[in-house]
Structure 1
Amino acid sequence: MNSFVHKTLVVQLRAGGTERCPVLAHLSYDPEDPFAVTAVFGHDGHVLARWRLDRQMLFDGLSGPVGVGDVRLRPAATGMWQELRMDFLGDHRPDGGRHHAVVFAWAPAIAAFLRDTHRLVPPGQEQVPVDELLEEILSGAE
């Protein structure tokens, strides 16, 4: 069995009032960090953005709107396509607004990725080694 899950998808990026353009999304899941999914968005070999997403939030976003902070997810239908819309809010701009990018991913591909993560660590069975973490933090404080 794999000790991690990785999937590369072609997604559509819309930023700064532009039309959608295709970019790669590299999704990864490591059971050592069981609540998080890392998403790295890239184009022409350059990393555009890296986000750590809550795995449960990603799952919930496939069926309804979630998120109130910098990341907001919701299902979206475009013709025959069922998509996951991911809104990412970035740094504040001088005009008082915030940088805003929207990524559209094919929902069945996201669902398949999440099913693979659930095979490694079923929902509700995530464990975080809190004792070891506290020991590491406290040992550095001396």
Structure 2
Amino acid sequence: MNSLVHKTLVVQLQAGDTDRCSVLAHLGYDAADPFALSIVFSHDGRVLARWTLDREMVADGLLRPVGVGDVRLRPVSRGVWDELRMEFLGDPRTDGDRHRAVVYAWAPAVAAFLRETHRLVPPGREKVAVDDFLAEVIAGAE
């Protein structure tokens, strides 16, 4: 059985006060890390950013605003077009604010991706290999 799910979406990136521009978002899920989703944003063959997000947070973000740190998600409806708004906060700027980028993804496509991950590992059935994790932590401390 395949333990990986991948989906590539065309999303809209808005950085600062600029207009939206289309970029690719490569979503990934590995059942070996059942709580995490990876997103790699790219444009013209260049990787713009990589983020790891909590799978449950993304699911919740399709329904209501979530996040208080570097990642904030919320649903946005533009007429018949439902989007997931993802705000990513980066390094501090010289004016004291932080760099930020906002990405808009078509919500039904994100929901379809999540359903595929839920078929592999249903919510609440995630398992973490605690012994392996502790062995890694202890090995790194030596």
Which residue of structure 2 lines up, in the alignment, with residue 74 of structure 1?
74
Q: Does 1:128 align with 2:128?
A: yes
Indicate the residue corresponding to 2:35 in structure 1.
35
TM-score by length of 2: 0.96
CA apart distance, 1:140:
4.4
Q: CA deviation at 1:51?
A: 0.4
% identical aligned pairs: 71
SS of 1:128's equivalent?
Answer: coil
1:138: how far off? 2.0
1:42 aligned counterpart, secondary structure = strand
CA distance in 2, matches of 1:140, 1:15: 37
Structure 2 distance, partners of 1:139, 1:103, is 38
Q: Does 1:103 align with 2:129?
A: no
Kept in 1: contact 2:3–2:32 (CA 8 A):
no
Deviating runs (4+, > 3 A) in structure 1? 139-142
Root mean square deviation, CA, Å: 1.0
Equivalent residue number for residue 118 of structure 1: 118
Deviates more, 1:20-29 or 1:75-84: 75-84
TM-score (norm 1): 0.96
Flag structure 2 segments of 5+ consecutive residues without an equivalent: none
How far apart, in 2, do the equivalents of 1:13 and 1:98 lie? Answer: 17
How far is the alpha carbon of 1:133 from its aligned partner? 1.5
Q: Structure 1: which 5+ runs fail to align?
A: none
Give the aligned length: 142
CA deviations on 1:27-66 (whole Å, 9 max, x unpaired) are: 0000111100000000000001100000000000000000
Distance 2:71 2:139 in 1: 34
| Structure 2 contact 61–84 (Cα < 8 Å) conserved | yes
